[in-house]
């Protein structure tokens, strides 16, 4: 079942499975509001509230990673504190993989923000973002002020 959330940075849609786990989260075009009537209170919406208020709660139930690597990657991403950044090179060395392969894995992350893949940037420059580079910029900017 699909839900929507209106964040200060733009609309967010996400998918909850029957078991309550969040399987996907997508960032809509920044500054494009979503239909207000589609917003419903869920564990994910509560978490997003907490995130955008600067006091982050424990993560809601998430769908499990499909591979061992994704699990390791998810943990590594969650270990990056707010406001911190890692480069693709740094993180790939930490995980024992190649920078490019890491990019592939990040691009396939179905749970941006929840799993903070936006804190990984290129060695020079900002790098890419699956939901649009503008989102990555605003997220980093937002976290910087926390």
118 CB contacts (<8 Å, ≥6 apart)? 112, 129, 135, 136, 139, 140
Smallest separation (angstroms) from DNA to the CB of 89:
3
Helix (H) or strand (E) holding 70: helix 68-78
Candidate segments 16-24, 39-47, 52-60, 116-124, binder of DNA by CB under 7 A: 116-124
User: Under the criterion CB under 7 A, does residue 100 sit at the interface with DNA?
Assistant: yes
Smallest separation (angstroms) from DNA to the CB of 36:
28
Q: Which of 52, 130, 134, 137 binds DNA (CB under 7 A)?
A: 130
How far apart, in whole angstroms, are the C-alpha atoms of residue 99 and residue 70?
15
How far apart, in whole angstroms, are the C-alpha atoms of residue 86 and residue 118?
10
* Site residues, DNA (CB under 7 A): 66-67, 69-70, 73, 87-90, 97-109, 112, 117-118, 120, 122-124, 127-130
Which residues are catalytically annotated?
Answer: 117
């Amino acid at each position: 079942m699909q839900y929507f959330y209106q964040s200060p940075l733009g609309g967010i849609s996400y998918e909850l499975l029957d078991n309550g786990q969040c399987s996907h989260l997508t960032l809509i075009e920044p500054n494009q509001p979503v239909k207000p009537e589609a917003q419903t209170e869920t564990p994910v919406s509560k978490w997003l509230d907490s995130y955008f208020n600067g006091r982050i709660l424990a993560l809601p139930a998430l769908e499990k990673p499909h591979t061992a690597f994704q699990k390791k990657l998810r943990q590594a991403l969650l270990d990056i504190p707010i406001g911190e950044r890692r480069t693709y090179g740094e993180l790939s060395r930490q995980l024992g993989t190649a920078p490019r392969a890491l990019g592939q894995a990040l691009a396939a992350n179905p749970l941006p923000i929840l799993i903070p893949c936006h804190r990984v940037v290129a060695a020079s420059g900002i790098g890419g973002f699956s939901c649009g580079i503008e989102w990555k910029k605003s997220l980093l900017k937002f976290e910087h002020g926390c």
